[in-house]
């Protein structure tokens, strides 16, 4: 058996023979789960806006048949939001809320097909204008298709549309562009959001439809309850027809049921980080104590001399302690973080964080897996960092106090002071490692997941290197 394996076995024997080890690991898991449940049950959200959106600029004519095929090419689309919409629309009149079938392209999310704000099909996430669109109506069902050249068509699917009239429906093209949410940080953990209307623009050509009459532009305006302000529009829509027959339409507004094609989408919330962050911070208290005591207890009792007599290579002993400690903490923390993730979801859903406005996180999502596994790795690295600080200071109380300040106290203070100080603490101290829990980038995130985790790793490497240097150069 080589010396490294003997060192690992010796340190593992020490770790598991100390009664405080089991207590600290159990306390870590208990604190993680307890505060996760407290945080998840206390986080609430509500929504009192519309559940259906039907506000757009519609260039239309009167359909002459009950069944028919409606084709147009969106030759260009610009302006507006990533969820701006341009495409074909069949509608029971021009009032907001009337029955409709729509096939559309968006600048940032590809193709969508919707009927009556209750049914949706997605497809061609990488499809952008120019693109050919086709709606085929047969009775109470419509089929959507798209083509890159107008010859080879790809069917998106078929949806029901219950209330389009047999004759007299309005058919044409439309443009909508939802409000853009401007976010502004007002504090280290506070964000103010203000919606700003936007205008989309699209050009349509090769328009072929069974219709009669001239083109008419209508701004479909969605009514609001008397106690709510009207939905803001950037400006009235426009319709221009070129000599070649191409239609250029501008408009604002949105189309779809709540949560469909971005309808009603607002400032983001990271439900995974929300579930894990508070519990992980509190659980760090237990692993800090465990990491510090794992080395300072030997200095206090004098057994460190025996350790270095049996293993004269002190750097190897420190490395063995770090590996054994980190592995033990990670092995216990990982089931706890998985349990915390799963336990938080029912509370979050009950408190308003549920579809259609919020996507349900899943352990099959790579970002969620990174956050859950990364939380366990964070706790393991914090324990090893505590070990390194303890080896440097060789005294329990100063080492624990220093770690508490760096990992727990500084983030709390930063959250109540200034944005600049909060960003520095969140990106340049060991607490930056918690960025590994992010599954979406929010405006108040001071760093990215891997960058923040990398900062913590650098602290661990630097402190262990300094501790090794002191062990080698100075007597025990």
Mean pLDDT rounded to a whole number for the chain: 89
When mean pLDDT is compared over 15-29, 181-195, 450-464, the highest value belongs to: 450-464
Provide the pLDDT for residue 13: 82
**Interval 383-437: pLDDT, tens:** 999 999 999 998 999 999 999 999 989 998 988 888 889 899 999 999 999 999 9
Q: Which domain holds residue 405?
A: 3-45+269-473
Whose structure tokens read 């790809």?
A: 154
- On whether both 211 and 351 belong to a single domain, the answer is no
| Residue that is last in its domain, among 239, 262, 285 | 262
- On whether both 37 and 58 belong to a single domain, the answer is no
Find out whether 425 and 410 touch, Cβ atoms under 8 Å: yes
- On whether both 286 and 195 belong to a single domain, the answer is no
CATH number for the domain spanning 66: value is 2.60.120
Question: How many domains does the structure of the chain reveal?
Answer: 2
| Residue that is last in its domain, among 220, 238, 262 | 262
Give the model's confidence band at 314: pLDDT under 50 very low, under 70 low, under 90 confident, else very high. Answer: confident
Find out whether 337 and 372 touch, Cβ atoms under 8 Å: yes
Question: In this structure, what are the phi and psi dihedrals at residue 454, rounded to the nearest 5 degrees?
Answer: -65, -35
- On whether both 255 and 336 belong to a single domain, the answer is no
- On whether both 103 and 201 belong to a single domain, the answer is yes
- On whether both 276 and 368 belong to a single domain, the answer is yes
Torsion angle, CA of 393/397/400/403, rounded to 10 degrees? -60
- On whether both 243 and 302 belong to a single domain, the answer is no
Q: Indicate whether 475 pLDDT > 60.
A: no
- Selection from 252, 253, 284 nearest residue 386 by Cα: 284
- On whether both 160 and 239 belong to a single domain, the answer is yes
- On whether both 302 and 430 belong to a single domain, the answer is yes
| Residue that is last in its domain, among 242, 262, 282 | 262
- On whether both 343 and 386 belong to a single domain, the answer is yes
pTM of the model: 0.84
* Higher local confidence (pLDDT), 131 or 233: 131
Q: Indicate whether 364 pLDDT > 80.
A: yes
- On whether both 355 and 233 belong to a single domain, the answer is no
Q: In the chain, count of helices (H) and strands (E)?
A: 10, 17
- On whether both 213 and 232 belong to a single domain, the answer is yes
Task: Provide the 10 A C-beta neighbour count for residue 42.
Answer: 10
């Amino acid at each position: 058996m080589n010396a490294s394996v003997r060192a690992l076995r010796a340190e593992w024997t020490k770790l598991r023979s100390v009664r405080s080890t089991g207590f600290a690991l159990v306390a870590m898991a208990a604190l993680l789960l307890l505060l996760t449940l407290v945080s998840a049950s206390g986080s609430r959200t509500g929504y009192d806006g519309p559940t259906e959106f039907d506000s757009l600029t519609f260039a239309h004519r009167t359909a002459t048949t009950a069944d028919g095929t409606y084709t147009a090419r969106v030759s260009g689309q610009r302006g507006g939001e990533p969820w701006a919409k341009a495409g074909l629309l069949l509608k029971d009149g021009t009032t907001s809320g009337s029955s409709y079938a729509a096939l559309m392209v968006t600048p940032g999310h590809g193709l969508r097909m919707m009927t009556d704000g209750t049914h949706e099909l997605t497809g061609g996430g990488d499809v952008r204008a120019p693109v050919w669109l086709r709606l085929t109506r047969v009775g109470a069902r419509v089929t959507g298709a798209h083509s890159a050249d107008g010859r080879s068509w790809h069917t998106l699917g078929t949806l029901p549309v219950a209330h389009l009239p047999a004759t007299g429906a309005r058919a044409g093209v439309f443009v909508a562009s939802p409000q853009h949410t401007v976010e502004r940080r007002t504090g280290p953990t506070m964000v103010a959001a203000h919606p700003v209307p936007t205008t989309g623009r699209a050009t349509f050509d090769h328009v072929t439809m069974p219709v009669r009459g001239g083109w008419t532009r209508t701004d479909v305006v969605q009514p609001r309850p008397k106690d709510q302000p009207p939905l803001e529009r950037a400006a009235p829509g426009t319709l221009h027809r070129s000599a070649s027959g191409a239609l250029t339409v501008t408009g604002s507004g949105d189309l779809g049921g709540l949560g469909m094609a971005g309808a009603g989408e607002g400032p983001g919330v990271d439900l995974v980080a929300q579930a894990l962050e508070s519990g992980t911070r509190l659980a760090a208290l237990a692993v800090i104590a465990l990491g510090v005591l794992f080395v300072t207890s030997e200095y206090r009792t004098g057994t460190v001399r025996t350790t270095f007599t049996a293993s004269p290579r002190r750097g190897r002993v420190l490395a063995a302690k770090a590996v054994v400690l980190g592995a033990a903490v990670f092995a216990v923390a990982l089931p706890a973080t998985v349990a915390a993730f799963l336990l938080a979801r029912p509370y979050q859903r009950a408190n308003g964080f549920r579809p259609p406005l919020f996507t349900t996180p899943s352990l099959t999502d790579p970002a969620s897996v990174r956050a859950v596994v990364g939380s366990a790795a964070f706790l393991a690295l914090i324990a090893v960092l505590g070990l390194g600080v303890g080896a440097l200071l060789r005294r329990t109380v100063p080492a624990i106090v220093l770690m508490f300040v760096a990992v727990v106290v500084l983030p709390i203070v930063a959250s109540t002071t200034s944005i600049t100080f909060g960003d520095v603490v969140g990106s340049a101290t060991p607490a930056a490692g918690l960025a590994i829990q992010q599954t979406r980038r929010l405006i108040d995130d001071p760093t990215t997941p891997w960058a923040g985790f990398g900062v913590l790793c650098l602290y661990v490497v630097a402190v262990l290197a300094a501790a090794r240097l002191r062990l080698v150069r100075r007597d025990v």
